[in-house]
Amino acid sequence: MFLPNRVVLAVTLFGVMGSSCFKPDFKISTQSTLGSGTEASPSPSPSATATPSPSPSPSATATPSPSPSPSETPFALACNCDFYTNPTTRTFDGVTKGVQPGQSICLRGGGPSYDQPISVGVMFTNLNGTASQPILIKNCGSKFKVNYTGGSAPIEFSRVSFVRMTGYTFADGSPGIETSGGNQGIKASRTSDIELDHMYISNTTGIGVNVKTDPTCDVTTQRKTVDNPTGFVMNNVLLHHLKVENVGQEGFYVGNSHWRLGAPLTCSGVSVTVMEHDVNNAQIYDNVIINTGRDGIQLGSAVGGAVVTRNSINGVCSSLDFNYCASGIQLNPGTIATVSRNVIVGNPAWGNWGIQTLATGGTVIHDNLIVDPIFGGIMTKDSVIVPGTDQKIFNNTIIRPGRYGVDSVNSQDMPVIFYNNLIAGIHPGTNASYKYINKHANTEFTDENNIYNDNLATIGFMNPAGGDYRLSSGSAAVNGGRTIDVSGVAIDLDGNPRVVGPKPDIGAYERQ
């Protein structure tokens, strides 16, 4: 498998165990756990079974709240559902079945004891809960496994809203829902207010988790606007504790990629450009992504504020098809996101950028660890301009970038604020044109209190050869940063207080 040779990543399921560089502040749970004092905590889950997360700390110096208790509620193993799927019938139509908001559906496996893998997968359609009474879909009795042999996705949602699908997590850490095969692992189209968690998705030829609605000539698939009131909008997409491994294309593909320019179609014989739907409140957290053909996480059109945090991404762009793959985390136009505390490890033979942002001003990228990005650590471009906004990039650690530490193509009018970042080492294959910071013409780029150093050994990392990029006491990075005035940013990559001592440190880890 594609384990990093220098970084000990949390490849135990869901990235929560045994990491030397990504200390968990969360536990495997069937509950939504984003929060726990982290910055940019999202709204409570729409799930009736989830405990609302604590409020984020407003102070940059606040001590994080204790981790949520690892309450592995055994509800998912009990087969007391209102409905059951059929192991040999793919389609489950909520209207035909008469499913009401607040009811539950158990996933039924094959064989006489319902515990064997099934091959047809399951497609939920016309299934609609409400905000206060979502519909719960879960495994029960045993794992629900799909060894999919069809040409679509093992698990599919179409015309679904206010639904949570969750896999009960077993004592060995494995999730209760597993799929293998398909051209996508999970596909959710014309679907909103959905929470997917605790599943293992593997071995697709295409996307791992695909949550978006591609526009057609039907206006109800196009962006909802004043002029198109029947259009589509996707709200409250929570994707967490998912492990996605060995997929041919993107690990996660959430929202469409042409928010600004639209997509060309021919409708009634006429060439038209249709606009892609907005995404509000997308939250992608605590996922593990291993070996993707294209980007690890690709998020677009997320105009309503998105959170991408605590994901472990290891090995992207194995297709080497850089027309479709740019980075570990790709923010596409329309998106305003907080991207924090992710660990992105590129294999030196692959990959491109650690993070590429074409996002709108207001996007914040902080406390990420990016190791061995073959092209560069972070690339910024201002594709959508909102006057008076900027992109803030701070307290990231970038190790051995291939060509650029950061490449900034903000040639319009969106400044980049670049503070407290640590760029260390140079990829062995780099050439003389290497630059820590590459600023294109007209880019307003403010870099202060950063460290750029091509000699890893002089930084004062704890154990760089072993993949531990925390700071030792003598490091110049300790207390070398400047105070960052961004509301709610209280903790570092480890989940420890961001400010210890007189000043914040430089890089993703604060010495405690």
User: How many Cβ atoms from other residues are within 10 Å of residue 280's Cβ?
Assistant: 18
User: How many Cβ atoms from other residues are within 10 Å of residue 285's Cβ?
Assistant: 25
| Segment interacting with Ca ion, rule: CB under 5 A, options 164-172, 292-300, 333-341, 404-412 | 292-300
DSSP for 247-285, written as a single string: ESS-SEEES-S-TTT-EEEEETTEEEEEPPPEEEEEEEE
> Which residue, 462 or 500, has its beta carbon nearer to Ca ion?
500
Q: Is 324 an interacting residue with respect to Ca ion (CB under 5 A)?
A: yes
CA 408 to the chain's CA centroid: 22
Which amino acid makes up residue 185? G
The CB-side HSE value for 243 (13 A sphere, CA atoms) comes to 23
Q: Is 472 an interacting residue with respect to Ca ion (CB under 5 A)?
A: no
Binding mask 266-285 for Ca ion (x = CB under 5 A): --------------------
| Segment interacting with Ca ion, rule: CB under 5 A, options 55-63, 85-93, 130-138, 497-505 | 497-505
Which amino acid makes up residue 116? Q
Q: Is 483 an interacting residue with respect to Ca ion (CB under 5 A)?
A: no
DSSP for 12-39, written as a single string: SGGG-SS-SSS--S----SS----TT-T
Give, in degrees to the nearest 5, the angle at Cα 286 between 290 and 503. 110
- Min dist CB 315 to Ca ion, Å, is 15
Binds Ca ion (CB under 5 A): choice among 108, 294, 366, 439:
294
| Segment interacting with Ca ion, rule: CB under 5 A, options 26-34, 149-157, 214-222, 318-326 | 318-326
| Segment interacting with Ca ion, rule: CB under 5 A, options 71-79, 114-122, 197-205, 291-299 | 291-299
- Min dist CB 505 to Ca ion, Å, is 4
Binds Ca ion (CB under 5 A): choice among 353, 505, 508, 509:
505
CA–CA distance, 132 with 328 (Å, rounded to integer): 35
| Contacts of Ca ion in 430-449 (CB under 5 A) | none
| Segment interacting with Ca ion, rule: CB under 5 A, options 56-64, 158-166, 221-229, 316-324 | 316-324
- Min dist CB 471 to Ca ion, Å, is 9
Q: What is the DSSP letter of 95?
A: H
- Min dist CB 330 to Ca ion, Å, is 6
- Min dist CB 21 to Ca ion, Å, is 19
- How far CA 166 is from CA of 21, 41, 202, 238, in Å, comes to 28, 21, 17, 11
Judged by the rule CB under 5 A, the positions of this chain that interact with Ca ion are 294-295, 298, 324, 479, 500-501, 505
